[in-house]
């Protein structure tokens, strides 16, 4: 029994030593890092055109929401139409919804920035994240854009292929 306890202690100590470098490797994004988002809503010719509802957010590698960047809806009752965003974020955090919601927007090009922070205002760690943009139009289509990205100390630019409900989307991660 005494021998088994010593062996367990040695294994526990070894596990702690092996895990320590993994725990210390997580570094926050550089202070000057940011991602510029260029987002286009195309002009759609339709006799029954309504402005789309839009949600743009970032999720971590664990598939948990990190930050909602943009949320464009007309009325609260329509939030549920943004199904993917609603299931992940909207139905759980009323204060967040109130803090980021703005009016729907017409066709055009829009720009906004992610400062590398989570909902709590803390800088996130370097690593893999997923960019999402969900666009839903009443009496129209639905598009969900998804792009895995690796945020670190090197910048990059990514173009996301347009859909029926989205035009050009360009992500430009910069580290000054």
pLDDT of 92: 72
User: Over 90: is that where the pLDDT of 95 sits?
Assistant: no
Which of 79, 83, 62, 38 has its CA nearest to residue 130?
62
Count of structural domains within the chain: 1
CATH of the domain at 163: 2.60.40.4070
This prediction has a pTM of 0.82
d(CA 11, CA 60): 31
Residue 124 lies in a domain: yes
Q: Which domain holds residue 68?
A: 27-175
Give the mean model confidence (pLDDT) for residues 5-14: 50
Residue 113 lies in a domain: yes
């Amino acid at each position: 029994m005494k021998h088994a306890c010593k062996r367990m202690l040695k294994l526990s100590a070894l596990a702690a030593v092996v895990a320590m470098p993994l725990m210390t490797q997580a570094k926050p994004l550089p202070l000057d890092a940011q991602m510029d988002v260029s987002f286009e809503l195309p002009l759609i010719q339709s006799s029954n055109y309504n402005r789309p509802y839009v949600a743009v957010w970032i999720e971590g590698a664990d598939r948990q929401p990190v930050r909602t960047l943009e949320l464009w809806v007309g009325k609260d009752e329509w939030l549920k139409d943004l199904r993917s965003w609603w299931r992940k974020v909207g139905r759980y955090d009323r204060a967040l919804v109130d803090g980021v919601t703005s009016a729907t927007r017409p066709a055009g090009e829009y720009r906004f920035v992610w400062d590398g922070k989570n909902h709590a205002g803390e800088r996130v760690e370097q690593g893999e994240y997923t960019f999402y943009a969900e666009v839903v139009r009443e009496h129209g289509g639905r598009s969900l854009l998804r792009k895995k990205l690796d945020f670190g100390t090197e910048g990059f630019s990514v173009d996301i292929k347009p859909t029926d409900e989205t035009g050009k989307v360009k992500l430009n991660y910069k580290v000054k």
